[in-house]
Amino acid sequence: MFKLSLINVVIGTSLAANCYAMNPQIDPNNPDGYIVSRAQINAAQDAKTPNPMYDIWAKALETRPNSVVEGIRPGSATNPENVKRVERVFPQSEWDFLTQMAAPEYTYTRFLQAIGKFSAFCGDYTDGRNADEICKKSIVTAFAHFSQETGGHIAKSNTSDNPNGLEEWQQALVHVREIGWSEGQPGYTTGCGQNDWQNKRWPCTQNQGYFGRGAKQLSYHFNYGMFSEVMYDGDATVLLKNPGLVADSWLNLASAIWFFLTPQAPKPAMLHVIDRTWTPSQRETDAGIGYGFGTTINVINGGIECGSQNKDKGQPVNRIRYWEGLAAHYNITIETDEENTCFQQTPYGSLNLNGATDVLYTNWDGNWKYYADRPGGFSFECELVGFQTAYSALVPGDYEKCVTNFYGSHASWPTIRVVEEDLTPPVVEPPAGGIAAWSANKVYLKGDKVSVTVNKVTTHYEAKWWTKGDAPANGGPWQAIP
């Protein structure tokens, strides 16, 4: 059974080496805190995510309103264009062919609604790629994994349990809930109630169970919270309070589509492996990770299914059998550089990415580095990291939340408030032939120079770090210069 897992160890170095020059000012409403402008916040975020893949990932996760999604019906003239493409390349008859054992909660209408939520699934391409072929390949890939995650796994020769002699790849979506679990049964509450960032953003609801539900068996409260934010305009509480919706509505398939489109950096989104928007980094290429169905296994569950040590394990063997059976039935083209297996690949969790400069990460964490030219040496920034946090580079507004919430959650760190006004310090020309006089009300950064005149004797000073209100003659952050 697949679970989106929370990664708790660093798997690579941050790529956010370049820091934007923040200009924090003392908060007039809180003498122990600071303010930064939203323009600075946005500029800092843009400086850290210049690679166009960030825009591509974010675009792939754009959603339609649920009011539109719930109006989708097979054959409707008002269906979104990507839904009409699915109806063309994978009509109701094909759905029926692959779901003869499926639970009644999974329907073709709900399948179309799940796809309709995300315009990128089976969407258009403007660069000559064949959108219909990519769409069909995406659906077949999804069904290969459905057959493993929630399938019947009944041999064709077992006529008592499989009287119609269905292939195992025709036995997808048998289970809606994880075997052994039912609604009203609390469970999968590991970490619930702790005073940490996970629970502050995705708080568990008492007496609810976050066991596997839906086509990809979504599990654990943080995954329900993240998925709820995508489904309900940023509201994590809807599914945290009512996780059963992931079993009993079109969300049972939408959760799988969401996973299909979501990169778990440094893992790419499955869609971008299939449509080749993703390009493997050198580290990935060296680890045998390239194009093909095998990489989608690595994305899903590489830690226990990929690598030579797992070559004979049941789960990957099943996935590959199901994919090859489906691909043959639907005449899916397998390119010469594609591998159906991942036995030759290093699992992503074992891939050493330390020092890699061509791997992109998608989560924000506080920048802990010391900056002598900023108050207290704090960065007042967040940076991209190779482990999961509460803040995603693909979610609008999360960078600001990281900066403000992260600092506010550390007792020894200053609080930060974002304001709309421009806090860029004005450019003040020094007096002709000299250096501007020191002002007790002005913020000075490392390297700034001032003059102090006492009894007609002028002394010049240079700031050694951020300072405000410290008289240069007292030393401290100031040093006298010729």
At residue 457 the predicted structure's pLDDT band, cuts being 50, 70 and 90, is confident
Q: Is the pLDDT of residue 175 over 90?
A: yes
Half-sphere exposure of 226 (CA within 13 A, CB side): 25
Collapsed DSSP state (helix, strand, coil) of residue 376: helix
CATH architecture of 54-278: Orthogonal Bundle (1.10)
Q: Is the pLDDT of residue 204 over 70?
A: yes
Helix intervals (H) in 61-183: 66-69, 81-89, 92-98, 108-117, 131-149
Question: Is 149 among the catalytic positions?
Answer: yes
Domain 425-482 part of CATH 2.10.10.20: yes
CA distances from 49 to 198, 246, 352, 459 (A): 24, 32, 22, 44
Give domain limits for the chain. 9-35+360-424, 54-278, 425-482
Residues 6+ apart with CB under 8 A from 391: 363, 364, 365, 382, 398, 399, 401, 402, 405, 406
Q: Are 69 and 230 in contact (CB under 8 A)?
A: no
Question: Of 9-13, 198-202, 257-261, 356-360, which gets the smallest average pLDDT?
Answer: 9-13
DSSP category for residue 252 = H
pLDDT in tens, 318-365: 999 999 999 999 999 999 999 999 999 999 989 887 767 777 888 998
pLDDT in tens, 53-72: 899 999 999 999 999 999 99
How many CB atoms are closer than 10 A to CB 373? 17
Of the residues 87, 94, 105, 149, only one is catalytic, namely 149
pLDDT at 198: 78
φ and ψ at residue 303, rounded to 5 degrees: -60, -30
pLDDT at 428: 57
Q: Select from 83, 126, 132, 133 the least CA-distant residue to 108.
A: 83
Distance of CA 349 to the CA centre of its chain: 16
Alpha carbons 242 and 248: distance in angstroms, whole number:
11
Mean per-residue pLDDT of the chain? 89
At residue 389 the predicted structure's pLDDT band, cuts being 50, 70 and 90, is confident
pLDDT at 14: 37
Query: Which stretches does DSSP call E strand in 295-377?
Result: 363-366
